[in-house]
Amino acid sequence: MRFPAPIAAFAGLLALSAPALALDEVTFATNWLAEAEHGGFYQALADGTYERYGLDVTIIPGGPQSPNRQRLLTGQVEFYMAGNLLQPIFAMEQDIPAILEVAAIFQKEPQVFLVHPDSGVETLADLAGLETIFMGADVYNSVFQWMKATVPGFRDEQYRQYLFSPAPFIANPRSAQQGYVTSEPFVIRQAAGFEPRPIVIADYGFDTPSTMIETLRRYAEANPDIVQRFVDASIEGWYTYLYGDNSLGNAAIKAANPEMTDDLIAFGIEQMKALGIVDSGVALERGIGCFDDTRVHNFYDAMAGAGVVRPDIDISTLYTNQFVCRGVGMELRPAATP
């Protein structure tokens, strides 16, 4: 879905305007349905930021069983929203065509496990005492394997398939459910009337960047200018979405996902800001999108040590700071923001 905006006229002779230059067409495929967690991209689309950077951008929303990542690998789209570093690591292990992460929009992984408020569960280790943990297969094959290797007591018997409905979790007070801290707590509160307690896995060592902009290495090498403009415009979109007038971005999200509500969007934005999901760590000094080299390597070492990934991967080849860490858009952050 596109939201065209007027193209600014070039400064020129009196009463004359130069012809508009053709925009470079690119497509960005996300990994889920439109939501606040994608807000900066929709903001840049809706308010004309991409167009100002000379880009005609189409966003293709993802969802359950979405083929969007395959679209990137087969060259059908130029950019994809990767979840976290495990996806490109697994791709390298499987000899999938070379991919490259060119921006880390989320400094903090928002994945959590939610528990009932009276469950007595306060820490990650406490989850081992529950009878059931509802997880998707990807979380079971990655996060849960790291949990088993890191904390005693976790058992495969705890695993139950998460089918994107909170009903089984709500009905079982001795269970936990995966979720994003920016959305599922709100959904459960609305459905069940209680506030679930989040166990934030990033606080226990699952410290990966998330919501990354991914492209094929060959595309980045052949089109560095387009990659730079897409990354810069996306970053500006995120600053505006978090700190400026995000009404156009929110309208675009709701147009792409009619089930999205104003209250859920507001909750997502509030959580992203309160927890520093986007604008924290190295981003505070060098700008949104920057990879923290030390954190990236520490995360890989932790996953390799837990047996989640092979220990012989050169993690430095999977991402680059070539297009980020330039302070783009930082002037849009209010001066009082940490």
Residue 146 reports pLDDT greater than 70:
yes
Q: Which CATH superfamily is domain 24-107+208-332 in?
A: Periplasmic binding protein-like II (3.40.190.10)
Domain regions of the chain by residue span = 24-107+208-332, 111-204
* Domain covering 111-204 in this structure, CATH number: 3.40.190.10
The answer to whether the pTM exceeds 0.85 is yes
- Determine the pLDDT at residue 5: 37
Which pLDDT tens digit goes with each residue over 68-114?
A: 999 999 999 999 999 999 989 999 898 887 999 999 999 999 999 99
**Neighbour-count burial of 244, counting CB atoms closer than 10 A to its CB (0-12 exposed, 13-18 middle, 19+ buried):** middle
Cα separation, 14 vs 146, in Å, equals 66
Note whether 99 and 217 are within 8 A (CB). yes
- Determine the pLDDT at residue 336: 65
Residues 282-295 have a mean pLDDT of 97
